[in-house]
Amino acid sequence: MRIGEVARLSGCSPETIRHYEKLGLLETPLRSTSGYRRYDVAAVDRLGFIRHGRELGLDLRAIGELLALADHPDADCRAVDRIASRHLERIEARIASLQQLAEELRAMVTQCRGGRVAECRIIEALFRRGTEIQSPE
């Protein structure tokens, strides 16, 4: 298959596919006599793996580690568990942070009931919060 077909099947753009090749996440394919990259079904599967990992929020480093482990199917999967657990911890921390942000925004919204911007509690709270951030020394 040529890169356009692989892009269509995998949902990745040709530029993304070439980027993954440069990063070593996807093997550099053989080229046809006319110089076109020629991919096999395994490349489409691998791109699907990468794409799904990205949808789950995994960074390319973690995806690379998982792909390296997947290339050795008889190896112990504890490393896979560690990568997934580490990512889950980050997601849960992000969720907690977002919940705290939602509470802060909810409090600001309930304090604002129209009127002039000069008297807006949301604007006031944002300015107050901004001054709490310390500038680098």
The 3 state secondary structure assigned to 46-113 is HHHHHHHHHHCCCCHHHHHHHHHHHCCCCCCCHHHHHHHHHHHHHHHHHHHHHHHHHHHHHHHHHHCC
Give 44-70 pLDDT, tens digit per residue: 999 999 999 999 999 999 999 999 999
This prediction has a pTM of 0.75
Assign domain 3-75 to a CATH class: mainly alpha
Strand partners, 38: 30
81-108 tens-digit pLDDT: 999 999 999 999 999 999 998 998 888 7
